[in-house]
Structure 1
Amino acid sequence: MKFAVWHLTWRSLLNRRLTALLTVISVALAVALLLGVERLRHDARAGFASTISGTDLVVGARSGPVQLLLYSVFHIGNATNNVSWQSIEGIAALPDVDWVVPIALGDSHRGFRVVGTSTAYFEHYRYGRGHGLEFAAGQPFADIFDAVVGAEVAERFGYRVGQQIIVSHGAGEVSFAHHDDKPFTITGVLARTGTPVDRSVLVSLEGIEAIHVDWVGGARMPGVNIAAEHVRKFDLSPKSVTAALVGLKSRVAVFRVQRQINTWADEPLLAVLPGATLQELWGVIEIAERALLAVSALVVAVGLAGLVAVVIASLGERRRELAILRALGASPGQVFRLLALESAFLGLAGCILGIMLLSATVLVVGPWLEASYGLPLSAGWPTPAEWRLLGAVLAVALLASLVPGWRAYRYSLADGMTIRI
Structure 2
Amino acid sequence: MNLTKLAYKNLVSKPLNALLSLLLLVLSIALVTFMLQLSGQVGKNLDRNIRPVDMVVGAKGSPLQLVLSSVLHIDAPTGNIALQEAEALAKNPLIAKAVPVSYGDNYKGHRILGTDTTYLGLYGATLASGSLFQEPLEVVLGDRAYQQLQLEIGDTFVSSHGLAENAMDAHDGHPFVVKGILKPTGTVVDQLIVTPLESIWEVHEHEGESLGHVKEKLDEHEGESADHAEEGPDEHESGEDHREITAMLIKFRNPLGLVQLPRFINENTNMQAALPNFEIQRLLGLLGTGVRTVNAIALAILLVSGLSIFIGLLKAVRERRQELALLRTYGATTLQLLWTVLLEGLFLAVSGFFMGWVLGRLGLWGLSGHTRSAYGYDLTMPMPTATEALLFVCIVLITVLAVFLASLSIFKLNISKILSDE
Regarding TM over 0.5, the answer is yes
- 1:374 maps onto 2:368 in alignment: no
- 1:13 maps onto 2:11 in alignment: no
Name the Cα RMSD after superposition: 3.7
- 1:156 maps onto 2:154 in alignment: no
Q: Which amino acid in the other structure matches residue 291 of structure 1?
A: T
- 2:128 paired residue number: 136
1:302–1:161 Cα change, 3 Å: farther
- 1:321 paired residue number: 323
| Contact preservation (8 Å) 2:31, 2:295 | no
1:345–1:68 Cα change, 3 Å: same
1:164–1:310 Cα change, 3 Å: farther
- 1:246 corresponds, among 250, 259, 278, to 250
Q: Which amino acid in the other structure matches residue 282 of structure 2?
A: E
2:120 alignment partner, SS class:
helix
When normalised by structure 1's length, the TM-score is 0.77
- 1:224 paired residue number: none
- 1:84 maps onto 2:82 in alignment: yes
| Identity across matched positions, percent | 25
How many Å apart are 1:216 and its aligned residue? Answer: 3.4
How many Å apart are 1:38 and its aligned residue? Answer: 0.8
1:161 alignment partner, SS class:
coil
- 1:216 paired residue number: 209
1:186–1:238 Cα change, 3 Å: farther
Q: Which amino acid in the other structure matches residue 257 of structure 1?
A: L
CA distance in 2, matches of 1:359, 1:286: 18
How many Å apart are 1:353 and its aligned residue? Answer: 6.8
How many Å apart are 1:411 and its aligned residue? Answer: 6.8
How many Å apart are 1:327 and its aligned residue? Answer: 3.1
CA distance in 1, matches of 2:13, 2:150: 50
1:180–1:415 Cα change, 3 Å: farther
- 1:274 paired residue number: 276
- 2:70 corresponds, among 69, 72, 75, to 72
2:50 alignment partner, SS class:
coil
Instruction: Describe the superposition over 1:117-150 as per-residue Cα deviations: whole angstroms up to 9, x where unpaired.
Output: 1222122x23xxxxx1122222221111111222
1:178–1:13 Cα change, 3 Å: same
1:339–1:13 Cα change, 3 Å: closer
| Contact preservation (8 Å) 1:8, 1:338 | no
CA distance in 1, matches of 2:176, 2:13: 63
- 1:120 paired residue number: 118
1:12–1:89 Cα change, 3 Å: same
CA distance in 1, matches of 2:263, 2:49: 25
1:94–1:343 Cα change, 3 Å: same
1:247–1:364 Cα change, 3 Å: closer
| Contact preservation (8 Å) 1:100, 1:247 | yes
Which structure has more helix as a fraction of its residues?
A: 2
Instruction: Describe the superposition over 1:25-81 as per-residue Cα deviations: whole angstroms up to 9, x where unpaired.
Output: 755675355223212221211111111323221111222332221111111222232
| Contact preservation (8 Å) 2:365, 2:381 | no
- 1:165 maps onto 2:148 in alignment: no
- 1:401 maps onto 2:403 in alignment: yes
1:46–1:100 Cα change, 3 Å: same
Instruction: Describe the superposition over 1:321-359 as per-residue Cα deviations: whole angstroms up to 9, x where unpaired.
Output: 21202334667676455424531454246446766x489
Structure 1 spans left out of the alignment, 5+ residues: 1-6, 127-131, 222-233
1:296–1:159 Cα change, 3 Å: farther
When normalised by structure 2's length, the TM-score is 0.77
CA distance in 2, matches of 1:119, 1:275: 23
| Contact preservation (8 Å) 2:133, 2:196 | yes
| Contact preservation (8 Å) 1:194, 1:375 | no
How many Å apart are 1:184 and its aligned residue? Answer: 0.5
| Contact preservation (8 Å) 2:113, 2:192 | yes
- 1:389 corresponds, among 382, 387, 391, to 391
- 1:287 paired residue number: 289
1:280–1:20 Cα change, 3 Å: farther
- 2:109 paired residue number: 111
Q: Which amino acid in the other structure matches residue 72 of structure 2?
A: F
Instruction: Describe the superposition over 1:137-188 as per-residue Cα deviations: whole angstroms up to 9, x where unpaired.
Output: 2222111111122222211122221111221011124452111221111112
CA distance in 1, matches of 2:35, 2:183: 28
- 1:196 maps onto 2:226 in alignment: no
1:161–1:409 Cα change, 3 Å: farther
2:272 alignment partner, SS class:
strand
113-122 vs 388-397, which deviates more?
Answer: 388-397
- 2:92 corresponds, among 84, 91, 94, to 94
1:246 alignment partner, SS class:
strand
CA distance in 2, matches of 1:103, 1:341: 62
| Contact preservation (8 Å) 1:323, 1:417 | no
Q: Which amino acid in the other structure matches residue 74 of structure 1?
A: L
CA distance in 2, matches of 1:160, 1:404: 68
CA distance in 2, matches of 1:238, 1:165: 28
How many Å apart are 1:405 and its aligned residue? Answer: 2.2
Instruction: Describe the superposition over 1:378-402 as per-residue Cα deviations: whole angstroms up to 9, x where unpaired.
Output: 624513x334433433333233334
- 2:231 paired residue number: none
1:216–1:61 Cα change, 3 Å: closer
- 2:263 corresponds, among 252, 259, 262, to 259
1:133–1:36 Cα change, 3 Å: same
Q: Which amino acid in the other structure matches residue 84 of structure 2?
A: Q
CA distance in 1, matches of 2:59, 2:166: 26
341-350 vs 156-165, which deviates more?
Answer: 341-350
- 1:54 maps onto 2:52 in alignment: yes
